[in-house]
Amino acid sequence: MKRKTMGAAFYSFMLSLFYQEIPIAAYTLTQSQSIIDGQTLISKGATFELGFFSPSNSKDRYLGIWYKQVSVQTLVWVANRDSPLNDTSGALKIGSIGNIVILNSTQSVIWSSNMSNAVENPIVELLDSGNLVLRDVKDGDYKSYLWQSFDYPGDTLLPGMKLGWNLKTGRNTYMSSWRNSDDPSQGDYTLAMDLTKYPELVIRNGSSKYYRSGPWNGLQFSGAPDLASNRIFKYEIVHNADEVYYIYHVIDQSVTLRIVLTQTSTEGRLQHLIWVNDAQIWRVVTSIPKDRCDDYAPCGAYSTCEAMSQPFCQCLKGFKPKSPQAWNATDWSQGCERKTPTNCSQGEGFLKFSGVKVPDTTGTWVNMSMDLEECRVICLRNCSCVAYTNADISNGGSGCVTWFMDLTDIRNMDEDGAGQDLYVRMAASELVSETKSGTKKHVVVIVSSTVVAGIIVLGLGSWCIWSIWKKRSLKGDHGKDDLELPIFDLATVKSATDNFAEANKLGEGGFGPVYKHKNLVKLLGFCMQGEEKMLVYEYMPNKSLDSFIFGLFLIRHIGYMSPEYAVDGHFSVKSDVFSFGVLLLEIISGKRNRGFFHPDHELNLLGHGWKLWSEDRSMELVDESMDNSCLAQEILRYIHIGLLCVQKGADQRPTMSSVVLMLSSETVVLPKPLPPGFYFERSTPIKDNLSYSNKESYVSYDSTISLVEGR
Ligand SMILES: *[C@@H]1O[C@H](CO)[C@@H](O)[C@H](O)[C@H]1NC(C)=O
Ligand SMILES: *[C@@H]1O[C@H](CO)[C@@H](O)[C@H](O)[C@H]1NC(C)=O
Ligand SMILES: *[C@@H]1O[C@H](CO)[C@@H](O)[C@H](O)[C@H]1NC(C)=O
Ligand SMILES: *[C@@H]1O[C@H](CO)[C@@H](O)[C@H](O)[C@H]1NC(C)=O
Ligand SMILES: *[C@@H]1O[C@H](CO)[C@@H](O)[C@H](O)[C@H]1NC(C)=O
Ligand SMILES: *[C@@H]1O[C@H](CO)[C@@H](O)[C@H](O)[C@H]1NC(C)=O
Ligand SMILES: *[C@@H]1O[C@H](CO)[C@@H](O)[C@H](O)[C@H]1NC(C)=O
Ligand SMILES: *[C@@H]1O[C@H](CO)[C@@H](O)[C@H](O)[C@H]1NC(C)=O
């Protein structure tokens, strides 16, 4: 169809010129002019054209904007999409209050631009960007439009259009599909910026989420690397006090590019199309969704979708299918649930998932000034916080975003080399099994309630001991008075030691560095964070043990005194080994040495353990409820090592460093253990008025202890 290109006022004038084709292209319309069906406005640079049209298989008439230079008529905007004209009698004018109106043959307004204030000298202009704008002639500032079509997109997002929110007016600028290629009325699909604290683009089918881009993370949308800048176009997310929007610009101005949201295309719901002039076709350069993992939450809560995997839905580590039957039958909709429920009062940590599209951001909380560690702390402190990560991953990461709802629509982005880290809250026991195959480094920390007293780093490979110990302390098997170990936040320990500062390091013991350190009294609890495992001790000021700390591990107030210590107050490196052995056997048996009772004999736990070992029945020492993730041979080895540590004579016991070696290397041959030393049960608490000699490894005390013969 050939269209006359002129303003209405010129119409009769042109007729008088005997239909001469003159290159007059009106790009403005004033109050005295109108555009009737058959006439058009053309932008100054002849990029876009505005006029009445009918979609291919329809007789309805609409006012729209299309590319002037593209041979296939391609609409980028439709004014009266929901109120078509049924004939060619429509006209575009400036209305009485200065707004833009479309009139039908009976001069009724079938569409109008919304105006808040009347304008004295309005003028309508079609810009080369494809934007139809209304402004005041008097207004020198050409940018201050009273109304613009870019604020009311249809199915097309042109370069320079903002998709998002004007936070001042509350106006949401979003795209909506055509019902079908013959019907530009609003279809089922919309693409909008979801105004959460951590905004993301969401395609909806009706009111249901159909696709989410993932939030903007400083480099790209977390789940849509395709929407990132490239050779052809660059894009931005603008987020300030007034606005939050997505916008893109074409780098090479000769490229004709559009983004379209379709309802009916089989080539993807959201397409980037480029006009290929040689072939005279639109070529789809990217389309979304690109695979089944792009669908919204195809795997339910707490799962990841990995398009290339079989099955493509996987529960996150530490989670299991809510309905194993449904999951088995490839019905993923119910998603996954925790293997171990979290319980804030029982200690928790976070497990890191890398290279993911972060979950749905509904209900998230964001603070752009926090770093990742502050973020972790704030999430850990709030029991309803399920996950956290950096809000912005550019330049090494900054900002904090936390989640409070079930985590849905996570996908693995590894195949795109995109994605980011997500830290998900886990019960501490899940974190222990997580480190099963992890490093062999454990850290023992000695801290005060306020100040860190010291840290000993152990090269302990015995993850399974930690997991059992953890379970014990969770169950409170050690009773109310002690060893019901609370869990400490790594951040607390870190800050107390000034991030394990070299300045706080006192020296290197037989089994690792020892940090700033005054006195050890009581095992307060432990801290577990990923690969780091620490014992946390109470701090007692003014009782320096600096001179002999290197051997110090566990001494008193917790019932692990070595015979030589209990009898003559002599403390040595080997006393600490004894304490460790008792602890090891307690952990494995699930029973405390103090108050141990067996119906068949009067031995204490150490004696009982040694008896079983001599009778080749060591496994009977093991608590039935013990974590079955520990191998029997591993357990037997720990019992064996424990018994070596508690041998009666201090010189018979291995040094702590050989204990560490025995624990971490299965190839070290263990000698036969000799009978254990006496066990001293404390009947009354030892008073704290201890006097320590700084120069010698002696401790004297004035407490009442009762001696209990071991065997
Ligand atoms: C257009 O609609 C009007 C009002 O419903 C009707 O009177 C007229 O006949 C219709 N014209 C055509 C061409 O269908
Ligand atoms: C013009 O629009 C008015 C209001 O929508 C409608 O009542 C009238 O029938 C229309 N006239 C024609 C000829 O379509
Ligand atoms: C005009 O404003 C009304 C009420 O605020 C709204 O329902 C309508 O969609 C607006 N129309 C356009 C074209 O923005
Ligand atoms: C869109 O929603 C409708 C109505 O809920 C549904 O029938 C249709 O299957 C959905 N389409 C897709 C592609 O999910
Ligand atoms: C899952 O399916 C397999 C065979 O397809 C079957 O052996 C297994 O028992 C099923 N598991 C559950 C939990 O239904
Ligand atoms: C959490 O643990 C505490 C004891 O450690 C227990 O009293 C409480 O009932 C637990 N809460 C839940 C929800 O399991
Ligand atoms: C954001 O974090 C910073 C740094 O921790 C803090 O000073 C500020 O108060 C926080 N803002 C809000 C709104 O929580
Ligand atoms: C946890 O965070 C949520 C969301 O910010 C907040 O509503 C709730 O009050 C917080 N709870 C605590 C105990 O701070």
For residue range 204-223, what is the model confidence (pLDDT) as tens digits? Answer: 999 999 999 999 888 888 88
Measure 345 CA to ligand 6 centroid, in angstroms: 7
Q: Is 466:529 a contact under the CB 8 Å cutoff?
A: no
Choice from 108, 111, 112 to test ligand 2 binding pocket (greatest atom count within 8 A of CB):
108
Measure 75 CA to ligand 2 centroid, in angstroms: 25
Q: Is 519:529 a contact under the CB 8 Å cutoff?
A: no
Asked whether residue 142 falls in the same domain as residue 90, the answer is: yes
Q: Is 505:498 a contact under the CB 8 Å cutoff?
A: no
So what's the pLDDT on residue 563? 61
Judge whether 608 lies within some domain.
yes
Asked whether residue 347 falls in the same domain as residue 410, the answer is: yes
User: Can you tell me the distance from the alpha carbon of 223 to that of 305, in angstroms, rounded to the nearest whole number?
Assistant: 12
Residue 438 has pLDDT above 50, yes or no: no
Q: Is 167:160 a contact under the CB 8 Å cutoff?
A: no
User: Can you tell me the distance from the alpha carbon of 430 to that of 672, in angstroms, rounded to the nearest whole number?
Assistant: 35
Residue 441 has pLDDT above 60, yes or no: no
Which of the listed residues 408, 426, 444 is the one where a domain comes to its end?
A: 426
User: Can you tell me the distance from the alpha carbon of 648 to that of 641, in angstroms, rounded to the nearest whole number?
Assistant: 14
Q: Is 306:312 a contact under the CB 8 Å cutoff?
A: yes
Q: Is 601:611 a contact under the CB 8 Å cutoff?
A: yes
Judge whether 221 lies within some domain.
no
State the greatest distance between any 2 C-alpha atoms of the chain, in Å, as a whole number. Answer: 126
Residue among 402, 357, 408, 397 at smallest CA distance from 376:
402
Asked whether residue 534 falls in the same domain as residue 568, the answer is: no
Choice from 86, 107, 108 to test ligand 1 binding pocket (greatest atom count within 8 A of CB):
86
Instruction: Give phi and psi for 151, each to the nearest 5.
Output: -80, -10
Residue 523 has pLDDT above 60, yes or no: no
Asked whether residue 135 falls in the same domain as residue 105, the answer is: yes
Structure tokens at 38: 């058959």
Residue 667 or 154, more confident: 154
Q: Name the closest ligand to CA 104.
A: 2
Asked whether residue 309 falls in the same domain as residue 202, the answer is: no
Choice from 364, 365, 369, 385 to test ligand 7 binding pocket (greatest atom count within 8 A of CB):
369
Asked whether residue 243 falls in the same domain as residue 301, the answer is: no
Which amino acid belongs to residue 511?
F
Residues with a CB atom less than 6 Å from ligand 5: 324-325, 328
DSSP run (H or E) holding 213: strand 208-215
Judge whether 420 lies within some domain.
yes
Structure tokens at 91: 């006209």
Averaged over 95-103, what is the pLDDT? 92
Choice from 338, 344, 346, 484 to test ligand 6 binding pocket (greatest atom count within 8 A of CB):
346
Which of the listed residues 395, 426, 457 is the one where a domain comes to its end?
A: 426
Measure 349 CA to ligand 6 centroid, in angstroms: 16
- The overall average pLDDT reported for the chain is 74
Q: Is 301:406 a contact under the CB 8 Å cutoff?
A: yes
So what's the pLDDT on residue 453? 27
Averaged over 78-104, what is the pLDDT? 94
DSSP state of 49: E
DSSP assignment of 137-151 equals: TT-S-TT--SEEGGG
CATH code for the domain in which residue 41 is found? 2.90.10.10
Asked whether residue 261 falls in the same domain as residue 363, the answer is: no
Where is average pLDDT lowest: 85-89, 247-251, 463-467?
A: 463-467
So what's the pLDDT on residue 597? 73
Asked whether residue 572 falls in the same domain as residue 514, the answer is: no
CATH code for the domain in which residue 527 is found? 3.30.200.20
Asked whether residue 500 falls in the same domain as residue 627, the answer is: no
Specify the residue with its C-alpha closest to ligand 7, atom 10: 367
Q: Name the closest ligand to CA 383.
A: 8
Asked whether residue 117 falls in the same domain as residue 255, the answer is: yes
Residue 550 has pLDDT above 70, yes or no: no
CATH code for the domain in which residue 671 is found? 1.10.510.10
Asked whether residue 44 falls in the same domain as residue 162, the answer is: yes
Query: Could you tell me the residue range of the domain that residue 503 belongs to?
Result: 490-543
For residue range 125-172, what is the model confidence (pLDDT) as tens digits? Answer: 999 999 999 988 877 565 678 999 999 999 999 999 999 999 999 999
Specify the residue with its C-alpha closest to ligand 6, atom 14: 343
For residue range 100-138, what is the model confidence (pLDDT) as tens digits? Answer: 999 999 999 999 998 777 788 899 999 999 999 998 887
Asked whether residue 530 falls in the same domain as residue 604, the answer is: no
For residue range 598-651, what is the model confidence (pLDDT) as tens digits? Answer: 777 778 888 899 999 999 998 888 876 555 546 677 788 889 999 998 898 888
Counting the structural domains of the chain, the total is: 4
User: Can you tell me the distance from the alpha carbon of 327 to that of 336, in angstroms, rounded to the nearest whole number?
Assistant: 9
CA atoms within 13 A on the CB side of 315: 17
Residue 599: cis peptide before it, omega within 30 degrees of 0: no
Q: Name the closest ligand to CA 86.
A: 1
Specify the residue with its C-alpha closest to ligand 2, atom 11: 106
For residue range 446-476, what is the model confidence (pLDDT) as tens digits? Answer: 322 222 222 333 323 333 444 444 444 444 4
Judge whether 462 lies within some domain.
no
